[in-house]
Amino acid sequence: MQYLLRKQIIIGVFLLCSSFPSLAQRGDVYQPFHDDLPYYLGMSIGVNNSFFNFNRNIEFANPAAGAAYAINPKNNLALNLGLAGTLRLSTHTLLRLNPTVLIAGSKNIYTYSEVGSTDLKTMNISSAIINIPLAFKIESDRYNAFHYTDIMRHYVFIGGKIDYDLLGSNKAVITSNSTGSNRTPYNNTLKGVDFGYEMGLGVSYYLQYATISPEIKFSYGLRNLNKGDALLSSIRDITGNFVYFTIHIEN
């Protein structure tokens, strides 16, 4: 018993002594001159969830024949990859450009039923969006965390965006949910260009060779994306919304 206890004490003392060098290193400040850079570059990777808002006309309660009388948007996940360039305007204010490609592939946009039919159908549209956001970024001072000196800071941002769907002119496909195999080609009912505003928040971690910044962003479209197709004649306007979770890796 005493032998086992003595062995545990020796191992504990050894681990404590071996941890002294690592504890001493925690006093170092990584990238101490980063705040003096006039600009810096990086890349981003993340995922996003998109969905549409449908605002009904007064005629929605009594739509014309062939129009949708019950319509519901669907959420769609996509991968986003981008580049980032940040310009320092002052100590705590920056301007960031983050052109991003949203790789969504084919996605189900909404489900609906037509007047005179009980069959629930799904509108499927291929999509590959280029998102070009420009935002003002306001960040805090760096502060200590996890026993490291000046390793973190938090920030908020707000700005505008332009979205361009590279596949916006492609044909859509309507799938009947009752059969699942009845796929009918159809015109794309949504416009391919949108603009809007974005806002979000994040945290930056200053490591030895790079800065890692996980953030969450909320993006709201302002343009009416409804092309005015007869199917959506009872819908006044359609706007697109996104929620992003992104990790920025910057120098």
> Which domain CATH number covers 145?
2.40.160.20
- pTM of the predicted structure, to 2 decimals: 0.81
- pLDDT average, residue stretch 19-42: 73
Comparison of pLDDT for 38 and 17, the residue scoring more: 38
Q: Is 23 part of a structural domain of the chain?
A: no
Does residue 139 have a pLDDT over 70? yes
What confidence category does residue 164 fall into, taking pLDDT thresholds of 50, 70 and 90? very high
Residues 228 and 18 sit within 8 Å (Cβ to Cβ): no
Structure-token match 């001072």, residue found = 141
pLDDT (tens digit, 9 = 90+) per residue, 206-234? 998 899 999 999 999 999 999 888 888 88
Domain extent at residue 92? 33-250
Q: How far apart are CA 38 and CA 90, in angstroms?
A: 9
Q: Is 244 part of a structural domain of the chain?
A: yes
- pLDDT average, residue stretch 198-213: 95
Q: How many domains does the chain have?
A: 1
pLDDT (tens digit, 9 = 90+) per residue, 55-96? 877 655 566 767 887 888 888 999 999 999 999 999 999 999
What confidence category does residue 9 fall into, taking pLDDT thresholds of 50, 70 and 90? very low
Q: Is 19 part of a structural domain of the chain?
A: no
